[in-house]
Amino acid sequence: MEILTKISRLLALPLVGLVVLYQKTLSPDHGPLSILCPYGYCKFYPTCSEYARQVLLKQGAAGLPKIIWRLLSCRPGNAPQVDLP
pLDDT in tens, 28-42: 888 887 788 777 777
∠ CA(12), CA(15), CA(21), 5° rounding?
Answer: 145
The Cβ of residue 52 has, within 10 Å, a number of other Cβ atoms equal to: 25
Greater confidence (73 vs 24) lies with 24
pTM of the model: 0.82
Tell me the pLDDT of the chain averaged across its residues.
84
**Res 6: pLDDT:** 85
**Res 1: pLDDT:** 64
**Which string of b and e fits 10-42 if b means at least 16 CB within 10 Å?**
eebeebbeebeeebeeebebbeeeeeeeeeeeb
The most distant pair of C-alpha atoms in the chain lies apart, rounded to whole Å, by: 46
